[in-house]
Amino acid sequence: QEYTALKLKVLEWAPKAEETLKGKIPSDGTVFMVPATLRPETMYGQTCCFVGPKINYGIFKASEKDYYLVTDRAARNMAYQGVFAKEGVAEKVAEVQGSDLIGTLVNAPLSVHKDGVRVLPMETVVPTKGTGVVTSVPSDSPDDFATVADLAKKADYYGIKKEWAELEIISIITTPSYGDRCAEFLVKKLKISSPKDTKQLDEAKELAYKEGFYQGVMNVGEFKGEKVEAAKPKVRQQLFDAGEAFAYSEPERKVVSRSG
């Protein structure tokens, strides 16, 4: 899997993270939360950034002033992909648990929400996939739509401010079958009522991927009016050129053969 690893600059730490990280990052250093995405063309619609509350994250030195927040596993992989200064070495300067990051304010490149977006909890983040950090695009990702709806509904339970989960969901892609916000359409059509409806959400994700990629037309940004298929590599390249993203590949997973 070739992901786009996006750099979400931390603008303001949540109080618990601030305390944990005190003295560990130089005052002129910049920390980026780094989600891995397969849909760079949807980055205009980012409304928050998810972490797994029980997942442990590391902060790794990427260059003289830049630091990346990802899982240890992702950092190890990145070390062999030319992401850090020294091949094979991921220098960890601090550790922080996902729950302590909730409420952190980050800048999401390309997002229409220019004042930044919040770090919020997502129970279904897989610790062994991507970077363990997930950027949320509720217009086009059914998982993200179901999660932000749940977060807004139970803001007190999650210990967040309701408005953090209620940033406007603009349309990024128009599709012939599912309209302007295919995630919301599919969540309703498949009667998904919670982020825990994983079976229906997997189905919705498949449908959204296919329809978005093959039939979708961009509704925002520099490539507005172009097919998603054409716009996707161009948006990705722009993010690379701007220094706002880099390529990240997941090592091959071992596939167990049924014939033994």
CA dist list (Å): 68 to 35, 58, 79, 99, 143: 10, 8, 12, 18, 25
240 binds ligand ZZB (CB under 6 A): no
**Contacting range for ligand ZZB; rule: CB under 6 A; set: 35-43, 146-154, 192-200, 228-236:** 35-43
CB of 61 to ligand ZZB, least distance (A): 22
Q: Output DSSP code: residue 175.
A: B
CB of 182 to ligand ZZB, least distance (A): 8
CB of 120 to ligand ZZB, least distance (A): 13
Q: For the window 136-175, what string marks contact with ligand ZZB as x by the rule CB under 6 A?
A: -x--xx----------------------------------
Which of 111, 102, 144 has its CA nearest to residue 41? 111
**DSSP for 214-255?**
HH-EE-SSTTTTSBHHHHHHHHHHHHHHTTSEEEEEPPPPPP
Work out which of 47, 77, 104, 135 binds ligand ZZB, going by CB under 6 A: 135
Closer to ligand ZZB by Cβ: residue 38 or 242: 38
CA 2 to chain centre: 14
Residues 202-231 close enough to bind ligand ZZB by CB under 6 A: 205, 208-209
**Contacting range for ligand ZZB; rule: CB under 6 A; set: 10-18, 37-45, 81-89, 252-260:** 37-45
What are the residues facing 173 on neighbouring strands? 218
**Contacting range for ligand ZZB; rule: CB under 6 A; set: 38-46, 97-105, 161-169, 226-234:** 38-46
39 binds ligand ZZB (CB under 6 A): yes
What SS3 state is found at 40? helix
Which of 38, 43, 47 has its CA nearest to residue 110? 43
What SS3 state is found at 179? strand
Asked if 36 and 91 count as a contact pair (C-beta separation under 8 A), the reply is no
Asked if 18 and 96 count as a contact pair (C-beta separation under 8 A), the reply is no
Task: Write out the residues near ligand ZZB by the rule CB under 6 A.
Answer: 36-39, 42, 125-126, 129-130, 132, 134-135, 137, 140-141, 205, 208-209
